[in-house]
Structure 1
Amino acid sequence: MILKSKIKRISSVLFLTIVLLCPIRAQELPLFKDGDVVALIGDSITHGGSFHTFLQIFNATQFPNQKVSYFNGGVAGDNTPGTIDRLEKDILIHKPNHAIIMLGMNDVGRWLYPGSKKVDAETLKKREDILKAYTKNMQKLSALLVERGVQLIFTTPSIYDQTADIERKNNFGINDGLIDFGKAVRSIAEKYDAPIVDFNTSMLAVNKKIQAKDKTATIVGHDRIHPGDEGHLVMAYEIIKTVIPVVFTSNIEIDAKTNMIITTTNCKVDIKDGIHKFSVMQNALPFPVKESLRSTEKLILGTENITRENFSVMHLNKGKYKLLIDDIEVGIYSHKELKSGIDLSRNSLTPQYKQAEKVSDLCFQYKNTNDKLRTIAATEFRTLKEFKGPNTYEAKKAFLEAKNEKSKGKSWYFYEKKKAKEYFEVLPKQDSLWKALDTIRDKIYTSNKPVIHTYKLIKI
């Protein structure tokens, strides 16, 4: 019995050691290092999406000294063959050493899913052929990237919402086709020993939760395809959970009785003047999430164990305490709450959170600037793909107008017309936009540096 008790105590110590070491290791070894270039490869969901912006915010706040360049390589309407065609001039031109790849929505053959349950043998055969072609193209794309020294991160395709009770026609079965695509991607990822981020499963799980309360709700748009910020937040968290699972932004545990620091993780605490006034220097900022997205965040499995900003104080006298950071009141807590530990990561009153929000704003400025450059890329690598005329403004304009006229009556007519107009507006600004992108990136990595803060814990 004594031996068993000793073994149990040793096991507990080992377990606690592992738990405490894991967040430190994650914080010291980010997936992306200083100077890395990350290419986001995809279709319209990447082109106009925000999952990579949330990821950029996460990296900029959690690893403020690891300056990483993100380049949106999504093109609306593109598929795997189109991506291979533009790979050299549109993606590899940025010399990425990492690529996050999500393709499939435009490869799956959505016309082969009419929504009826009965499908003939010919249609099934076409679906099989499409899956084979997609697999072959993804293998080719992966090989080309690896040849150039790019480290791969694969994702399963995001969902087609075939469960929401909305007006848009439901081509039921498309998401099942995308799940098959995801299985093919998984096998390729295994070949390269690369991470596989399962967007589809995580998005289905959140969709199921919200649709249990409201059948018309969806984390993708009402076209059943394009996620809003809610869906993109789910996607970003799935990348974070899979490849960069940071447990603590910071962890502080203090004994008020002895004025001793029990534990610190990813921060430095100076408590020489006692709990009534002490300084904290964190190595990271909170990961800010807009208030409008908090309800979605709560539905994502595992987020409660990511980027926690724990603050706990043991052996306080009974009662309530006011916590001030830089003389700003951020909350009132009981001695029991402080003993258990409060998570400040979602406290928008703290100076750290306000600083993180400014970083977030800059990342969205970066996205908006990149979006304009993607208008140029999408037009030149897709819409103007068949253009053979002279490289002049007039010739390209005539070609695009003629092509757009042919699509009159189609669902994409107004979108293509709008993008053609934007192309000619943005094209003369191309050089200045690239400079602006560099400038904003520099601002992100100067505004994200943590500073020393003064904490005060006052009994009330």
Structure 2
Amino acid sequence: MNQLNKSSLYASSARNSVHFTARVFLFFLAVVFALFVQGCSNKTMRKVSPGKKAFSAKIFKQNDRVMFVGNSITHGGRYHDYIWLYYMTRFPNLRFTILNGGVGGDIIANINNRLEEDIFTKKPNTIILTFGMNDSGYFQYMTSDVAKVSDRLVFQSDSAFKLVINKLNQHPEIKKILMSGSPYDLTTTGVKNEGWKPKSATFERIVQIQIAAAKANNWPFVDIYHQMEQLNNENQKTDPNFTLSGTGDRIHPESYGHLVWAYLYLCDQGLKGLPVADFTVDAAQKRTTETSNCTINNIAGDQNNLSFNYLAKSLPFPIDEEKHNGDKQAASAALKYIPLMDDLNREMLRVKNLTGKNYELKIDGKLMARFAAADLANGINMAMIKTTPQYLQAMQILKLNEERGTVERETRDYAVQVYNFARANGIKNDQDTASWAKMRELKKTNGWINNDLYERGSNPATQKAWQDKMDGLINHIYASNKPVNHKIELIKVD
């Protein structure tokens, strides 16, 4: 997850002793990300279709400031990074900002407490709010009357949520989107602990409250919870150890789960089927018969050896191959469970009426692969070739975005110190040395307090350095994400 003890502080979250004990325990657990299903395609591979949404999120617009507000899954996660990465590569001229508004351990009451100071001050014009994992409880179920516990947790969550709704409705300039989070996976056998058996039913009740609130307020609702739960159920039929919700704790999806989450969100925005590029060249007539999101010109040669210039309006979506913070699988593992390449990452090259049997594909003079003429006629997805110059360009965007996200996660680590510990103990002025002294005293009985991070992060110079670093990386991304012209050659082999 993030630098702040890879748990990213996800546990129960109320500021009383019972909740704090739960949070400390769960903070320690693994982290990372969840999965989905056939949210967009018709491939048969234990995927689930997201179907049509009653409340569909809209595509982000130029100059938007979009904040995802949630708990540690948002704080230390990457789903929002992958969503922005898609936009950086698919819409290279559409510049806007995505902000991480997660704080590890939060329940909706904690989000309510920090709305004005932490969220509204960032001036978002779109807020995507998600909660429920911590709200649905953990250690509270260590009692004989679990029904009463569940009722109390749901009541507390609903009551605090009403306060949040009231505050959000006081800001008509902000678009509000509700998003259910990844599910608590009670059924996987791949996690050693037995799990909190009543928790899933409580979580479901909270999700239903979110759905009702979205309808009542005419807000879009993005249902991550049920689609990921369905994928869990389907895959566990053949692999009982399968889970999308965290192989260490049933809670925190790993990076592949976050990529699935991003896929689900992008599909909900209606982006399924939007190509990177799609074109067909008739080798016999040396002309294009169709093009989408690209330009083809300077077609030369014949049906044996053909060349042309290719300029796309987008870059392919680069797939994260790295394991982050204890991942058992890289984000690329998501491709086993979702048809991302078919639905969101098609860079289709088609060449018809070639006379040979097999051809070499070269781009800018470099050999990419060898294809049968029949396959070229049907179409090949160049986004699946990781050595193309356009894919390598996109991978540089991924790396820059990952670096940006790392800096931003540190700012959220600092936010945990402020909102989980300083504010919870009556500290209001983080730059006051008396506040630092009080936090040092609290540290004696609370191992999760990081005095160095709190004091360093409270320094305006540090905050400026963080922001300057992120701004510089974002500027670099948008200066580097524009597609360039490439020469494509098809050379007959036999």
Equivalenced residues, count: 419
- The change in CA–CA distance for 1:62 and 1:402 in structure 2 (over 3 A counts) is same
Equivalent position SS for 1:449: coil
1:210-289 matched pairs, under 5 angstroms: 211-212=236-237, 214-219=239-244, 220-247=246-273, 248-274=275-301, 276-289=306-319
Q: Which amino acid letter does the alignment assign opposite residue 415 of structure 2?
A: A
The aligned counterpart of 2:454 is: 423
1:376-455 matched pairs, under 5 angstroms: 376-385=414-423, 386-388=425-427, 394-407=433-446, 413=447, 416-417=448-449, 419-428=450-459, 429-455=462-488
Equivalent position SS for 2:73: helix
CA distance in 2, matches of 1:36, 1:217: 37
Equivalent position SS for 1:159: coil
CA distance in 1, matches of 2:472, 2:130: 28
- Any unmatched runs of 5+ in structure 1? 1-28, 408-412
Among 43, 58, 63, which residue is 1:35 paired with?
63
Greater shift in the superposed pair: 391-400 or 274-283: 391-400
Displacement of 1:451: 1.0
CA distance in 2, matches of 1:421, 1:362: 27
Aligned 8 A contact 1:153 1:194 in 2: yes
Q: Which amino acid letter does the alignment assign opposite residue 75 of structure 2?
A: H
Q: Which amino acid letter does the alignment assign opposite residue 43 of structure 1?
A: N
1:14-413 matched pairs, under 5 angstroms: 31-114=59-142, 122-148=145-171, 149-165=173-189, 166-208=191-233, 211-212=236-237, 214-219=239-244, 220-247=246-273, 248-274=275-301, 276-291=306-321, 292-300=330-338, 304-385=342-423, 386-388=425-427, 394-407=433-446, 413=447
Q: Deviations over 1:15-52 (max 9, x none)?
A: xxxxxxxxxxxxxx971112110111001111111111
The aligned counterpart of 1:13 is: none
Q: Which amino acid letter does the alignment assign opposite residue 130 of structure 1?
A: L
Displacement of 1:193: 3.2
Aligned 8 A contact 2:258 2:331 in 1: no
* TM-score between the two structures when normalised by the length of structure 1: 0.84
- The change in CA–CA distance for 1:243 and 1:143 in structure 2 (over 3 A counts) is farther
Displacement of 1:243: 1.0
Identity %: 27
CA distance in 2, matches of 1:396, 1:308: 54
Aligned 8 A contact 2:431 2:458 in 1: no
- The change in CA–CA distance for 1:210 and 1:296 in structure 2 (over 3 A counts) is farther
CA distance in 1, matches of 2:219, 2:285: 48
- The change in CA–CA distance for 1:94 and 1:257 in structure 2 (over 3 A counts) is same
Equivalent position SS for 1:155: strand
Higher helix residue share: 1
Displacement of 1:110: 2.3
* TM-score between the two structures when normalised by the length of structure 2: 0.79
Q: Deviations over 1:170-225 (max 9, x none)?
A: 11232232222222211222233333222222322443455455434433141221
- The change in CA–CA distance for 1:51 and 1:388 in structure 2 (over 3 A counts) is closer
Higher RCO (Cα < 8 Å, 6 or more apart): 2
Displacement of 1:104: 1.3
- The change in CA–CA distance for 1:321 and 1:192 in structure 2 (over 3 A counts) is farther
Equivalent position SS for 1:277: strand
Q: Which amino acid letter does the alignment assign opposite residue 202 of structure 2?
A: G
Displacement of 1:425: 4.1
Aligned 8 A contact 2:65 2:126 in 1: yes
- The change in CA–CA distance for 1:263 and 1:191 in structure 2 (over 3 A counts) is farther
Aligned 8 A contact 1:288 1:346 in 2: no
CA distance in 2, matches of 1:393, 1:287: 46
- The change in CA–CA distance for 1:384 and 1:457 in structure 2 (over 3 A counts) is same
- Any unmatched runs of 5+ in structure 2? 1-56, 322-329
Displacement of 1:76: 0.8
